Amino acid sequence: MTEKGKPLTIVLATQNQHKIDEIRTILGDDINYQTIREYFDLKLQETGRSLRENSFTKAAFSYKVSGKASLADDSGLFVEELGGEPGVYSSRYGVDDKERISKLLANLKNKKNRKAKFKAIFVYYYAPGSFEVFEGECIGRIAMEPRGTGGFGYDPIFIPRGYNRTFAELGQTVKNRISHRAQALAKLKKYLMTYK
Ligand code: ITT
């Protein structure tokens, strides 16, 4: 809620329905959510060389077309043995999730070091030239083969630290408590409670 008792409206600057569902669940029902699709129906282009740059571009563009506070999420999976790949190119690593996962597992074949982390960078753009950045990461390792049906993207091959099952096996309740997105959004939530 804002000071005036009216719910805050936030435009979610993402085309990814899974991200939208996770963001709404983590941030809760006190916010009035809209999505960029209500204002613009093409895929937002990602040409930046960092998550931060891409996230900023998406949030600033959403603010420009909607005139409302906008929240973008750029995220990726960083695998140590692969020098941080696919990283910022996570969504461009293959044509679909199946191909991206196969490619990653093939590149890690016979490698001992399977350490990886998910990173998410959120940009909250709320007035002309005014924005805040919130980061989150979740450390873990890459499974030997895909397991589980929950979540999206690389979830079937990511095992968070402290667990033996993948995000896709653990399910949405556990994921939304410990994920990179949960870590970053906890910071945004605190910011909104303090300043909005
Ligand atoms: P928007 O740009 O519209 O937000 P997108 O799906 O293209 O949607 P990104 O550019 O941030 O999102 O790409 C993120 C990539 O990383 C994408 O391939 C996802 O599958 C993967 N990814 C991000 N967060 C993930 C998560 O929580 N679980 C599994 N994979 C994730």
Q: What is the pLDDT of residues 177-188, one digit of tens each?
A: 999 999 999 999
| Percent of the chain surpassing pLDDT 70 | 95
Would you say residue 1 has pLDDT above 60?
A: no
Nearest Cα to Cα of residue 159 among 147, 174, 142, 176: 142
CATH number of domain containing 56: 3.90.950.10
Element (H, E) at 184: helix 180-195
Nearest Cα to Cα of residue 118 among 144, 136, 133, 101: 136
pLDDT score recorded for residue 7: 85
Report the nearest atom of ligand 1 relative to the CA of 167.
28
C-beta 8 within 6 A of ligand 1: no
C-beta 153 within 6 A of ligand 1: yes
Asked if residue 102 is part of any domain, the answer here is yes
Nearest CA to ligand 1 atom 25: 153
Asked if residue 1 is part of any domain, the answer here is no
Nearest CA to ligand 1 atom 15: 91
C-beta 172 within 6 A of ligand 1: no
C-beta 176 within 6 A of ligand 1: no
- Write out the two tokens for 75: 């995220």
Pocket test for ligand 1, best of 16, 71, 98, 181 (most atoms within 8 A of CB): 16
> What is the tally of structural domains in the chain?
1
pLDDT score recorded for residue 6: 75
Domain that holds residue 45: 8-193
Task: Catalytic residue, from 29, 30, 41, 74: name it.
Answer: 74
C-beta 140 within 6 A of ligand 1: no
Asked if residue 113 is part of any domain, the answer here is yes
d(CA 175, CA 160): 9
Asked if residue 2 is part of any domain, the answer here is no
Asked if residue 3 is part of any domain, the answer here is no
What does pTM read for this prediction? 0.95
Work out the average pLDDT over 4-13.
86
pLDDT score recorded for residue 4: 57
Q: What tens digit of pLDDT does each residue of 42-69 get?
A: 676 777 889 999 999 999 999 999 999 9
Asked if residue 125 is part of any domain, the answer here is yes
Q: What tens digit of pLDDT does each residue of 84-134 get?
A: 999 999 999 999 999 999 999 999 999 999 999 999 999 999 999 999 999
Judge whether 29 counts as a catalytic residue: no
Pocket test for ligand 1, best of 77, 117, 177 (most atoms within 8 A of CB): 77
Nearest Cα to Cα of residue 74 among 173, 161, 160, 184: 184
pLDDT score recorded for residue 3: 52
Asked if residue 22 is part of any domain, the answer here is yes
pLDDT score recorded for residue 17: 95
